[in-house]
Structure 1
Amino acid sequence: MTVSSELRDALCTEDLWRRMRKRVPPIVSEYFVGGADEEITLKGNVKAFQQTVLNVRGATRFETLDTSTTVLGHELAVPWYISPVGSLRTIYPKGDAVAARVAGNFGTVMGLSTLSGTRMEEVAAASSKQCWFQLYLCGGRDTALRAINRAKKAGFTALFLTIDTGVSGQRRVHERMKPLQALHPWEGLSGNERLQWILRRLQLAPQMSTRLPWLTDLLGDEGVMRFVNIIDDKGEPMPFTDIGSQLASSAVTWADFEWIREAWGRDRPIIIKGVHCADDAKRAEDVGANAVVWSNHGGRQMDRVPPTLHMVQSEMPKLSGSGLTFLMDGGIRCGTDILIAMSHGIQAVGIGRAMVAGLGAGGEAGLTRSFEILREGLERGMRLTGVGSVDEIRSMGADLRCECLLQGDSHLPPFVY
């Protein structure tokens, strides 16, 4: 695996994010960059971590550190997993399989989105560890059942159900770019439509011409991807198209849980993702879920909802005595953020944008560097705060944190991603 000096010299995931945006054209990268509406929640996710202050216990030394955790019977060498993120193949060839391979190398789990461009069998085969499948009901119940059966046969060991995607959030910057218009095929267009097709591509030429390595990768990877894990009754994959109407017509409800549980298997873990409040977490447990992910979808769905860390702080304590496993995602950019999440009793965190940063910056080498940065930061934070294991972080809990007396946020670094 060749590693460029730019990747090797990256000191934080923000460095990789900037590199990703240089390599991937805005018409594509903005899908991963943007949040809903004014992006208040997107930024709040990050600031909630930045405004948390930690206690330090001095005069400690550890020969080794234990960063492992256990989630639903899965032994993870690091306390994070890859969150399911759609359309990774648009930023790197067979990006989902590449991400799975890196996850396995770090001893953790790959979460695969339904809205992915790499066959789930190939993704599972790429990892030396387990993979989890995130199910959307795009295409209806029969299509979902086909996906569930494929995931079981491919060896996926847990199923995500996402409950905060009744419709797609409005991501204005990307919508104004009209990405789907740019991806429309030439075939079947009328004379005037073909003229518009040509003009649209001419408009995109400046951003493509400065990113030829990405363009070469895309064309060598079969061009525009299709959703190959959404197969209709004719055996055809769903085209890469607007999925907003699909989500609106096939949103998961509590009533769907029983048939999904039956199809997946009652002895197999189900994780409810997109939980904002204790009431929904209790409902998830009542219908038989094994875990919940506190998540606002990275600020991409409903804007002006609480940052995920604030949900964990305010809602999770209401669930004392629950048998659920608690996970979270949103706003995690460094190892210290992971340490903070663990101090609230979280079992593992999902890594989304920091994963995209590495994958888009340089494929396997870039994502490896992103995960190295997270691990180095976590281990440094553990040594400096005087804790030797993830279990110790959880047991210390609030004793690891103290009240922040700084007013405002002018002391915080500029928002990068």
Structure 2
Amino acid sequence: MVDRRIPKVRDLAPLMQFKAPDLNAKRRRLESALTIADLRKIAMRRTPKAAFDYTEGAAEGEISMARARQAFEDIQFNPAILRDVSKVSTGWNVLGAPVSMPFGIAPTGFTRMMQTEGEIAGAGAAGAAGIPFSLSTMGTTAIEDVKAANPNGRNWFQLYMWKDRDRSMALVDRAAAAGFDTLLVTVDVPVAGARLRDKRNGFSIPPQLTLGTVVNALPRPEWWVNFLTTEPLAFASLDRWSGTVGELLDSMFDPTVTFDDLAWIKAQWPGKVVVKGVQNVQDARKLADLGVDGIVLSNHGGRQLDRAPIPFHLLPDVVREVGSEYEVHLDTGIMSGADIVAAVALGARFTLVGRAYLYGLMAGGRGGVDRMIQILGEQIVRTMRLLGVNSLEELTPEHVTQLERLVPRARAAAAERAAV
């Protein structure tokens, strides 16, 4: 028999603590997001389809993007136990200066279309968190305004080489004058990738407001009001343009750029030079020999060549080739702090997040970007503690096993012959 009694209020009170309601809808919405996937869901509800698809989409069948994300899922962490992990440090030096965490905000184009605060929100949040912010050539906020939003933080400028070299270098000069410390030269866009979602949505500059566009935007009144009552959308570094994004890229970008042009750019820039868009070991070796300060393994978030190499898979081979002292950075497919920790363990000095940043921006402007950074930071710390490490320097390839899903046929055949 079980003895029963009438519960007393004083016994129940400690077990029934009610949370005070938060009347701030935006704060309540963002606090409910525990992962980047949660921010994505909020962003999708609040952003018209054309703008959301510009962020979400990739080239052609979007196979590159799917494979990049799958690669991060296909890992096994190998933790050590009985380590004192009461204190964990997530910072170190990147390109000669400190960062608080091993990730920064990637350059993104058309950013104010996603949410009206655009690059100002990203730069301010990055500066507050102690991580770099990257401004795209195709950004929607002027170089000088980004500097004003992040006056004491690290600002990087991402450069596309145009057919008009004088205009390209005029932007470089403006970035240098504004105190940007790093130039990200993006080299994987000789022509625009086939971004089919944008074509289907009629995504253009300025946006073409069809009946479908208006109907889709009406249930999202905050986005609609912001779009109509703020500065007309344009690429802040460029003249006005009428046409699709792909047509703009094809009209501007120079398919004749070579390693010689890169050496010339490097000679013009007073700060660090990093080449973004490296996709094989041989090019990584050549760039290291050329003397650029670092490289970013990237397939442009899957937005250029579909079925491109997976940067995370390429990482260990590149690090072996160029040496662990050379700065290898990584982007494409990163959706959690655990992904970042895995990349650092396999030799990446730094990572860049693009879609995760834009999900946060669409979910809540500056507050959403702050929340994105907070989520990734908490995940980094938790993953490091569970692995049994106190600092980024303690992470090694032994902490991560890349499980194989896609194995090249020649490699598989060689393994079979060796087993016979």
Q: Does 1:257 align with 2:262?
A: yes
* 3-state DSSP of counterpart to 1:133: strand
| CA distance in 2 between partners of 1:277 and 1:403 (Å) | 18
Residues 231-262 of structure 1: CA deviation (Å, up to 9, x unaligned)? xxxxxx34364323134446642221233223
- Change in 2 beyond 3 A, CA 1:156/1:317: same
Residues 272-296 of structure 1: CA deviation (Å, up to 9, x unaligned)? 0000112111221233311000011
- Change in 2 beyond 3 A, CA 1:313/1:182: same
- In the alignment, which residue of structure 1 is the partner of 2:3? none
Superposed, 1:170-189 pairs within 5 Å as 170-180=194-204, 183=207
| CA distance in 2 between partners of 1:179 and 1:109 (Å) | 29
- Change in 2 beyond 3 A, CA 1:302/1:61: same
1:86 maps to which of 88, 109, 123: 109
Superposed, 1:362-373 pairs within 5 Å as 362-373=364-375
- Change in 2 beyond 3 A, CA 1:238/1:317: farther
TM-score computed with the length of structure 1 as normaliser: 0.86
Matched-pair contact (CA < 8 Å) for 1:94–1:117: no
- Change in 2 beyond 3 A, CA 1:181/1:349: closer
Unaligned residue ranges in structure 2 (runs of 5+):
1-23, 408-420
| CA distance in 1 between partners of 2:402 and 2:288 (Å) | 32
**How many angstroms does 1:72 deviate by?**
1.0
- In the alignment, which residue of structure 2 is the partner of 1:134? 158
| CA distance in 2 between partners of 1:310 and 1:150 (Å) | 36
Residues 311-355 of structure 1: CA deviation (Å, up to 9, x unaligned)? 11333322237x631100011111111110010111110011111
Matched-pair contact (CA < 8 Å) for 2:285–2:321: no
- In the alignment, which residue of structure 1 is the partner of 2:140? 117
Residues 210-236 of structure 1: CA deviation (Å, up to 9, x unaligned)? 11100111222213x112223xxxxxx
| CA distance in 1 between partners of 2:285 and 2:190 (Å) | 20
* 3-state DSSP of counterpart to 2:185: strand
- In the alignment, which residue of structure 1 is the partner of 2:309? 306
| CA distance in 1 between partners of 2:347 and 2:118 (Å) | 31
Matched-pair contact (CA < 8 Å) for 2:74–2:402: no
| CA distance in 1 between partners of 2:316 and 2:161 (Å) | 31
**How many angstroms does 1:138 deviate by?**
3.5
* 3-state DSSP of counterpart to 2:135: strand
Residues 178-214 of structure 1: CA deviation (Å, up to 9, x unaligned)? 2228725xxxxxxxxxxxxxxx532322101111100
- In the alignment, which residue of structure 2 is the partner of 1:157? 181
Q: Does 1:99 align with 2:122?
A: yes
Superposed, 1:8-407 pairs within 5 Å as 8-127=31-150, 128-138=152-162, 140-180=164-204, 183=207, 201-223=210-232, 225-230=233-238, 237-239=239-241, 241=243, 242=245, 243-249=248-254, 252-265=257-270, 268-320=271-323, 324-393=326-395, 397-402=396-401, 404=403
Which deviates further from its counterpart, 335-344 or 58-67? 58-67
**How many angstroms does 1:67 deviate by?**
0.1
- In the alignment, which residue of structure 2 is the partner of 1:415? none
Extract structure 1 runs of 4+ deviating beyond 6 A: 405-408
Unaligned residue ranges in structure 1 (runs of 5+):
185-199, 231-236, 409-417
For residue 137 of structure 1, what is the amino acid of its counterpart?
A: M
- Change in 2 beyond 3 A, CA 1:21/1:240: farther
| CA distance in 2 between partners of 1:94 and 1:363 (Å) | 6
**How many angstroms does 1:167 deviate by?**
1.0
Q: What do you get for the CA RMSD once the two structures are aligned?
A: 2.2
Matched-pair contact (CA < 8 Å) for 1:227–1:240: no
Identical aligned residues as a percent: 31
TM-score computed with the length of structure 2 as normaliser: 0.86
For residue 374 of structure 1, what is the amino acid of its counterpart?
A: L
| CA distance in 1 between partners of 2:57 and 2:278 (Å) | 21
Matched-pair contact (CA < 8 Å) for 1:29–1:91: yes
- Change in 2 beyond 3 A, CA 1:406/1:93: closer
For residue 170 of structure 1, what is the amino acid of its counterpart?
A: A
* 3-state DSSP of counterpart to 1:255: helix
Aligned positions, number: 380
| CA distance in 1 between partners of 2:98 and 2:322 (Å) | 24
Which deviates further from its counterpart, 35-44 or 312-321? 312-321
| CA distance in 2 between partners of 1:369 and 1:261 (Å) | 36
